[in-house]
Amino acid sequence: MLLLATMLLLFALAFISVVLLLSTLRWMLTGQKPSFVMYVQAYRRWKNMAAGGGQPFPRNDDIIDAEVREVSRDRVLEPPDKHTKH
């Protein structure tokens, strides 16, 4: 029984090692992170959000300027004239 448990443990360790090796090679060749890494990162973000520390996503200091206009179904809006000021 002890021999069977030892063989099962060795098989599991060998299998995990092969999976980690293949996923690391795929990560290096394609640049696509393994799903396990993505799950761990998502868990850490969730844990930080639940603890109240930090923002859910990295802060982006870029300012996006947008003009809001009402669009009706009856007419097609033309682009605003670049020479007029709003």
Instruction: Determine the pLDDT at residue 3.
Output: 92
How large is the average pLDDT for residues 41-58? Answer: 75
Neighbours of 37 (CB within 10 A): 13
How large is the average pLDDT for residues 43-60? Answer: 72
Asked, for residue 77, whether it belongs to a domain, the answer is: no
Q: Which residue has the higher pLDDT, 72 or 19?
A: 19
Asked, for residue 12, whether it belongs to a domain, the answer is: yes
Asked, for residue 14, whether it belongs to a domain, the answer is: yes
Question: Residue 71 corresponds to which amino acid?
Answer: V
The SS3 call for residue 75 is coil
Asked, for residue 63, whether it belongs to a domain, the answer is: no
Domain that holds residue 43: 2-50
3-state helix, strand and coil shares in percent for the chain, rounded to the nearest 5: 50, 0, 50
How large is the average pLDDT for residues 21-43? Answer: 88
Q: How many structural domains compose the chain?
A: 1
Asked, for residue 62, whether it belongs to a domain, the answer is: no
How large is the average pLDDT for residues 36-58? Answer: 77
Structure-block tokens of residue 1: 């029984």
Question: Residue 77 corresponds to which amino acid?
Answer: L
Instruction: Determine the pLDDT at residue 85.
Output: 57
Question: Residue 51 corresponds to which amino acid?
Answer: A
Asked, for residue 83, whether it belongs to a domain, the answer is: no
